[in-house]
Structure 1
Amino acid sequence: MLYIHFSCPPLPHLIVGGISLFRKGDLHERRVLEHTFDLIFVFSGALYLEEDGCKYTIEPGQYLILTPGNLHKGYKACTSDTTFSWVHFYTTGDFFYSENPITHVDSKMNKTKYYKKDVFYISLPQYGRIDDSLHEILKNYMDSISQVKIDKYHNEKLFYSSTKSQIEYQQLFLKILTIFCDLREHEKEKELAEEVFDYFSSHYQNAFDLNELAAKYSFHPAHIIRSVKKKYGLSPLQLLLSIRVQKAMKLLAEERHSVGEIASLVGFTDSSYFCKQFKKITSVTPLQYRNQTRQQGFDT
């Protein structure tokens, strides 16, 4: 996966948007855009594009961002009628590419930041898929900024006058970018939450420290909380307690340790707190759970 990183400010800006209707057998043109990014989103059919030696198949719900200075062309004709929207955009700021997204860590506001915005980055995955639930929203945005229609069915290229102010066009463009940025953010949040889960599963005996966790993954504590809650419906501490209780349930079933010993083995320093959390999560006390598992063993 290639990521395109824009150093901001300034923000990338819209040049023009359009829609293209290709017939079966049509091929995308061969060209180099020296100063322009071309974002393509396919609604029906499929496009077969090659950029700088890399071949892409863009099917319904998928997108590709073609980058400045690289030769791109259709490497295969459309195998069915194809409809896609496109956006040409650029930035007067710096941009670069990498195989990994840039992690943004929120910094605390202070009095030295009143008059100058710190540099931040917009990271766009070059190629991917948009969730089905966002297709209609994205289509509405792209239709709203469209001022060009390329119709291969009737061999026409139509141009339309502005119907909105330039500020409105740029606002719509930024909403489009937000959808593509959020793809990375949602995936990143999911990956972060899973990493935290794996860490807790291996280090459940360690004391919980949200700030240490934030430092370990280079994220703000609030971002850690949000990511974990979005994935598991629990705060990081609740997730850790749940994992500890799951470990305790296995030890209780084995009947080799007392409740106090098990509390210590799974990371609780206070057996009373352990019993309280165990009952909160399982609806029974540790001893009641042990008796239930023992009875089940007798019944089988």
Structure 2
Amino acid sequence: MTNVLTFRAPPLPFYILGGLSDFAQGDRHLSRQGIGVFDLLIIRKGCLFVGEDERKYELTPGRALILRPDAYHYGFEGCRERTEHYWVHFQTAGDWSAEEGEGSDTQIARPEEGAPRMLHSFDPTPYRLQLPQFAALPQPASMYALLDRIIALNETSYLGITRWQIDALFQQVLQQLAGTLRKQASSPRAACAQQAAAYLRRHYKEDIKAEQLGEHLRFHPIYIARCMQAEFGCSPIEYLLRYRIEQAKLLLLRTDFTIARIAEEVGFHQAAYFASRFTKYEGLSPRQYRQRFLKE
């Protein structure tokens, strides 16, 4: 089972530099320690023998490997034949982590402790971009074509429009890599959490009980709660509260409804309880939130 690299986005990982290297028989990957950037290797022809710390990989055509910026990389054997491989250096300005196991692309519902609160509903919502550290590409030719287009643009990368084109192509590279995870058997835990989240979003205006959610999904409420805690970092009730508050923020900005009506529109029976929950999550009352964005 491959390691999964998880990037908290936005910001998205960004392209730095890339190329196509041609190794002769006997050549090997350089030994490097903590280079500070991610190094994506994709083999087009031959075989490359690369190690990262205690792990060793034999990269054959159509295989991709992401070397971490904080690890020791080395070639543990010379190439046995002529070997062509793409290399792409990239980095992220956001947080990232590595863990062993299956990945999922579920949205992050709870901000990290100490992170700034969103000022309004149009701020970017953080999510997880997950990439396999080692993978077999389902359509190598498509990946090769993307990388060839990126490399061809390197010569004029000093132009703003070219840099924009390169970044757009690089995001397609990441999408193809992420797609190899989705083609693997999906985690039952992730599937349960996603079904629960979808149900809560569709019925957020209604009174939803744990038993009702369990009957709809045909899972025990305790199991559903564990799945959502693992995938979203919160219980079903907290997920529902947060989603209701996000809908309330939209109504505060787009309508002149009273606070009491907004509370009712998003599923709260008591305006006072709505106001207390809103203040807890946003750091200011619904009225203060609305006034902050009113035109003077």
TM-score, normalized by length of structure 1? Answer: 0.57
Query: 1:171 aligned to 2:168?
Result: yes
Output the amino acid matched with 2:217.
Answer: N
1:196-235 deviations in whole A, cap 9, x for unaligned?
A: 9xxxxxxxxxxx955345975748xxxxxxxxxxxxxxxx
Query: 1:66 aligned to 2:67?
Result: yes
**Structure 1 segment 1-300 matched on structure 2, within 5 A:** 1-105=2-106, 114-131=121-138, 134-146=139-151, 160-162=155-157, 165-189=162-186, 192=188, 210-212=216-218, 218=227
Q: Is the partner of 2:183 in helix, strand or coil?
A: helix
* Range with greater deviation from structure 2 (33-42 or 10-19): 33-42
Q: Is the partner of 1:17 in helix, strand or coil?
A: strand
Query: CA separation in 2, counterparts of 1:19 and 1:47?
Result: 13
5+ residue gaps, structure 2, are 110-118, 193-213, 229-296
Q: CA deviation at 1:167?
A: 1.0
Output the amino acid matched with 1:120.
Answer: Y
Is the contact made by 2:51 and 2:75 (CA closer than 8 Å) also made in structure 1?
A: yes
Shift of the 188–122 alpha-carbon distance from structure 1 to 2, 3 Å rule, reads: farther
* Range with greater deviation from structure 2 (171-180 or 48-57): 48-57
Query: CA separation in 2, counterparts of 1:4 and 1:107?
Result: 15
Shift of the 124–106 alpha-carbon distance from structure 1 to 2, 3 Å rule, reads: closer
Query: CA separation in 1, counterparts of 2:12 and 2:220?
Result: 28
Q: Give the corresponding residue for 2:261.
A: none
Shift of the 169–210 alpha-carbon distance from structure 1 to 2, 3 Å rule, reads: farther
Output the amino acid matched with 1:211.
Answer: L
Query: CA separation in 1, counterparts of 2:108 and 2:93?
Result: 25
Q: Give the corresponding residue for 2:281.
A: none
Aligned length: 192
1:169-220 deviations in whole A, cap 9, x for unaligned?
A: 001000000001011112144x559x99xxxxxxxxxxx955345975748x
Is the contact made by 1:17 and 1:147 (CA closer than 8 Å) also made in structure 2?
A: no
Output the amino acid matched with 1:125.
Answer: P
TM-score, normalized by length of structure 2? Answer: 0.58
Shift of the 105–66 alpha-carbon distance from structure 1 to 2, 3 Å rule, reads: closer
Q: CA deviation at 1:128?
A: 1.5
Query: CA separation in 2, counterparts of 1:48 and 1:107?
Result: 36
1:99-148 deviations in whole A, cap 9, x for unaligned?
A: 1344344599xxx86222222111111012111xx111101110111169
Shift of the 210–181 alpha-carbon distance from structure 1 to 2, 3 Å rule, reads: farther
Query: CA separation in 1, counterparts of 2:34 and 2:106?
Result: 33
Query: CA separation in 2, counterparts of 1:214 and 1:19?
Result: 52
Q: Give the corresponding residue for 2:268.
A: none
Shift of the 107–8 alpha-carbon distance from structure 1 to 2, 3 Å rule, reads: closer
Q: Is the partner of 1:117 in helix, strand or coil?
A: coil
Query: CA separation in 2, counterparts of 1:113 and 1:98?
Result: 33
Query: CA separation in 1, counterparts of 2:180 and 2:32?
Result: 28
Query: CA separation in 1, counterparts of 2:185 and 2:25?
Result: 38
Shift of the 104–180 alpha-carbon distance from structure 1 to 2, 3 Å rule, reads: closer
Query: CA separation in 2, counterparts of 1:24 and 1:214?
Result: 59
Q: Is the partner of 2:184 in helix, strand or coil?
A: helix
Is the contact made by 1:18 and 1:147 (CA closer than 8 Å) also made in structure 2?
A: no
Name the larger-Rg structure: 1
1:239-287 deviations in whole A, cap 9, x for unaligned?
A: xxxxxxxxxxxxxxxxxxxxxxxxxxxxxxxxxxxxxxxxxxxxxxxxx
1:132-168 deviations in whole A, cap 9, x for unaligned?
A: xx111101110111169xxxxxxxxxx8443861111
